Structure 1
Amino acid sequence: MTGSSAPARPARPAVAPVGRIFAIVALAEAVTWAGLLLGMALKYGPVGTETGVWLFGRLHGGVFVAYVVMVVVAAVVLRWRWWVALLALVCSIPPLVTVPLEIWLRRTGRLARRGMFTSASSGGPLSQDDTDTLVDVDPAP
């Protein structure tokens, strides 16, 4: 066979402004978690300094609150199902899990508004990799 090519993947919807802010806050939450872990290693390690815990504890506390607020805002604006919002909240507890969550949300189109689920190039609806159903915002005339 010559000239065979892989089937084209459907284009992913553009990330909504709220989705971008959510992604930034999710990354900041993971970075401050990593800083807090480093601070704890310095505190209980051979150095014995509390400076890292003092600094990153405060930073992580503030970013954690911002993350929880952004989950609620994103869930309402982007019309997430209840279990997606709950999963996003649970992912804030273990260290660094908000990064893979954000990647999954982006790949499944959940960082785009529900009305943005049409491809500009093909004009057709986009598919999701899971069982979540999509409803067209603008019904056909």
Structure 2
Amino acid sequence: MFKTSVGLLRFLGILEGISYLVLLLIAMPLKYFLDIPIAVTIVGGLHGFLFVAFVIMVAIVKFTKRWTVLWGIWAVFLSFIPFGTFYLDKQLKTK
């Protein structure tokens, strides 16, 4: 999986998707229902780092594979949707 840029993008996408779900489904309820804001601080920082790494990797793959700009926009758009990066991973398996 780590041998190609697409493999690394898939890995980062999965990590980014998991961190997004943890942020939405665990950390935010802890903050707003149990008044534990540190959960969002920690998970949010980790998710932010993974998101930036994912976007940079999308750009790298877009240029190295000479894929269209629309593909890059689509990949970044999917990262804003819960479970979107898992859908992107499914698409990238075929490429």
TM-score, normalized by the shorter chain, greater than 0.5: yes
Structure with more of its chain in helix, by fraction: 2
- Determine whether 1:73 maps to 2:60: yes
TM superposition shift of 1:29:
0.6
Deviation at 1:85, TM superposition (A): 1.1
Offset of residue 95 of structure 1: 2.2
Equivalent residue letter for 1:98: T
Matched, 1:105 2:81: no
Offset at residue 55 of structure 1 (A): 0.8
Give identity over the alignment, percent.
28
Gaps of 5+ in 2: none
Shift of 1:42: 1.0
Number of residue pairs aligned between Structure 1 and Structure 2: 94
Q: Are residues 16 and 76 of structure 1, via their aligned partners in 2, closer, same or farther at CA, if it must alter by over 3 Å?
A: farther
Candidates 25, 29, 41, aligned match of 2:29: 41
CA RMSD of aligned residues (A): 1.8
Larger Rg: 1
Could you tell me how far 1:25 is from its partner in structure 2? 0.5
If asked which structure has higher relative contact order (CA below 8 Å, sep 6+), I would say 2
TM-score by length of 2: 0.89
TM-score (norm 1): 0.62
